[in-house]
Structure 1
Amino acid sequence: MSNDPGRTTAEDQPTAGQEPAADAPSRRLPAPGAALLEVLGIAWLAAMLWSTRAAIGSAEAGSTAISLSAFALPGVISAALVAGAAVALAATNLLARRTADRATLRFLIAVGTGLLVGVATATAINLTYLDTATTNVIAGTAAAAAIIGGAVAAARTAPVVGAAVLSGLGVLLFVVAFSRARSPLFDLYGGDGGSQEALVSAANWVSRTESLLAGLLAGLLAFGYLRWARRHAARRDPDAADLRWPAYLLAGAGPGLLLLTAEVILRIGGRSLLDLASALSDADAVAQTSLGTSRIDNGIWVLFVGALVSLIAFGRTLTPPPTDNE
């Protein structure tokens, strides 16, 4: 190569019929286990739809069904978000194996896949749920969540999306399992004291414990998945570069972002249902406000704790550079 910056040599020029390396489309780093995540995401969405249908169907028509629908809708939205992202991730993974990576095509495939999941979800709700005023709200918000989840899967770094999907599923499953421990913890934190102050304090501590444990789980799952993705990529290409710290930070924060995104979708698409539930009585209005605040607090805690845990776990894998004396 010439030392003159204003001149180029034949080595600097692309050969005839060959595009410059900077302009050539690259292959997207795949997310391992995307097919399994797809199955798990669909299974979780189906389970949430079934449990919501069973709860609403067992209630008497009217105020009870509306209240139960408002209570169950956040879980349906979160499940639809994860399912849309998981199915779209599997679709874009398949695309990456067959063709060179192109951002526009990847985005169209991801959003289209999310749309298919959303339409299928809305159709299942309308066909199996009772024909009530809340059915269309549940169907519409679930479809919107699936489309948004599909769009998320179009991100350039597929392993980060896969880590967020896996840790998101882990957090959602943990929240359901933790419900069995709420009552013993409530008593442990002094909730059986009888006073209103003791009840509120115990409830807050139970909520914080749940959020901290969920964030810890999110960070560990995200870190473990990204390390697995790194080993998987190294087997395919020993020279593949490792993901840097922002990827671990974003993956650990993924479940918290998922919960907060679900809350935004709920407050926009499900506003009419929340208003109906709040209008039933003063107690219902207070309950809906309290639940909304609790969901936001939980999402923020999971976001920051998950990101911090994943980043710390990644930092412990780093080795210091060798010194001149070694």
Structure 2
Amino acid sequence: MTKRSGTTADPPAEPVGGATRATRPVPAPGAALLAVLALIWLATMLWSARTAIFSNAGTLSITMSAYALPALVGPSLVAGVAASLLTANLLARRGIGRPTPRFAAAIGVGLVTGVLAALVVKLTYGGGAAVTILAGTIAAAVIIGSALGVLRPSVVGAALLASLAVSAVTFTLAYFKTDLTTLYGSGDTIESQAGALRWFSWTASLASGLVAGLLAFGYLRRTGRRAELVDPDRPPLRWPAYLAAGAGAGLLLLVAEVLIRTAGSRVLALAGSISAADRDAQGLLGGSRVNHALVVLFVGALTALIAFGRTLGPAAEDAGPDDEAIEPGKPAESSEPVTR
């Protein structure tokens, strides 16, 4: 901004909670709604898994725990991110922008949420080593998710919305699985059924990635416009933010898979020791989950980045000192020295 003659320069932005106006995080829009949806999703999956595990006993209970593990770790991770984002939102609205109090508060909220979820599993799913490991894995997923939620609120909010959308797309396509596999040529032979399932898996992964990328882009665009209205001097979001937000849902799926294979590895091992068929099934399902996460990650990131690129206009060319406009009727001054 051009300063008038005789005026002093604008004073520097006053720090609020350890951060200036230009550096303190922008509250993520709709964090409360996203947290409610994430907790509802976790509660629904906990109830569904409880029905399957509690109604069985013995080795079948261990098998059902292994199958329920991936269905519970993902929602637990997302619930931890949502609780942390809501906490960071409240602190940002109070002007607390320093990382240390945000991280401490997020971990505290994640710890409480994770312990409550683990207690629900331990008290209602029945006894056994598999249930105990399942409860501990869920608590670890919530706490790790809360640690991830202290990152840039706008990007975390976009990734959280994309993750909830991916779960909705997956659930919807699973409801129409029979119709889609029939459309892809599933018949009486094993080869046709396997081919139709592969096409169905690719359809679910690609659709999830596209939805994740578009929603992450739309969320960040809205966040950027709101931030610009509040503080016009704040720099706009750049392409790395859109790339990270679009890839966020796939990254959370990969983190969930790491937790499944580390913290929950004992449950998978117990189920695999029952029979070779269970062991092979767990291996196939694990590979399918990794492929799904990678497709969602790359497709979501590319979709968000392409959508952001389409909003960019042509680069403005700065006029140089020799490109000044010449008034009509006025000859251009010669650059050669005048001979007297």
Question: Do they superpose with TM above 0.5?
Answer: yes
How far apart, CA to CA, are the structure 2 residues paired with 1:87 and 1:36? 11
- Tell whether 2:55 aligns with 1:89: no
CA offsets 1:171-199 (integer angstroms, 9 cap, x no match) = 112212211122222222222151x3333
Letter in 2 for 1:228: R
CA offsets 1:254-307 (integer angstroms, 9 cap, x no match) = 110111100000111111110111122121111110000000000000000000
CA offsets 1:182-220 (integer angstroms, 9 cap, x no match) = 2222222222151x3333222211111110001011111
How far apart, CA to CA, are the structure 2 residues paired with 1:63 and 1:210? 32
- Tell whether 2:163 aligns with 1:168: yes
How far apart, CA to CA, are the structure 1 residues paired with 2:176 and 2:245? 27
Alignment equivalent of 1:53, drawn from 46, 50, 55: 50
Alignment equivalent of 1:149, drawn from 124, 145, 150: 145
Q: How does 1:1-326 map to 2 (within 5 A)?
A: 26-58=23-55, 60-155=56-151, 157-194=152-189, 196-322=190-316
Letter in 2 for 1:49: L
How far apart, CA to CA, are the structure 2 residues paired with 1:319 and 1:65? 58
How far apart, CA to CA, are the structure 2 residues paired with 1:244 and 1:36? 26
How far apart, CA to CA, are the structure 2 residues paired with 1:99 and 1:231? 20
Letter in 1 for 2:293: G
Letter in 2 for 1:111: I
CA, structure 1 residues 24+70, in 2 after alignment: closer, same or farther (shift >3 Å)?
Answer: closer
* Contact kept in structure 1, 2:19 and 2:98, CA below 8 Å: no
- Aligned-pair Cα RMSD in Å: 2.4
CA apart distance, 1:240 = 2.5
TM-score with structure 2 length normalisation? 0.85
SS at 2:234's partner residue? coil
CA, structure 1 residues 266+20, in 2 after alignment: closer, same or farther (shift >3 Å)?
Answer: closer
CA offsets 1:104-135 (integer angstroms, 9 cap, x no match) = 22111112211111111111112222223321
How far apart, CA to CA, are the structure 2 residues paired with 1:110 and 1:291? 32
SS at 2:114's partner residue? helix
CA offsets 1:298-322 (integer angstroms, 9 cap, x no match) = 0000000000111111111111134
CA, structure 1 residues 20+111, in 2 after alignment: closer, same or farther (shift >3 Å)?
Answer: closer
How far apart, CA to CA, are the structure 2 residues paired with 1:24 and 1:220? 31
TM-score with structure 1 length normalisation? 0.89
Structure 2 alignment gaps of length 5 or more: 1-7, 324-340
Q: Which moved more, 1:86-95 or 1:171-180?
A: 171-180
Letter in 2 for 1:180: Y
Structure 1 alignment gaps of length 5 or more: 1-10
CA apart distance, 1:57 = 2.1
* Contact kept in structure 1, 2:38 and 2:164, CA below 8 Å: yes
CA, structure 1 residues 20+128, in 2 after alignment: closer, same or farther (shift >3 Å)?
Answer: closer
How far apart, CA to CA, are the structure 2 residues paired with 1:139 and 1:89? 23
CA apart distance, 1:24 = 5.4
How far apart, CA to CA, are the structure 1 residues paired with 2:242 and 2:95? 27
SS at 1:191's partner residue? coil
The number of equivalent residue pairs is 309
How far apart, CA to CA, are the structure 2 residues paired with 1:263 and 1:302? 14
Max Rg structure: 2
CA apart distance, 1:243 = 0.8
State the partner residue of 2:326.
none
Letter in 1 for 2:271: A
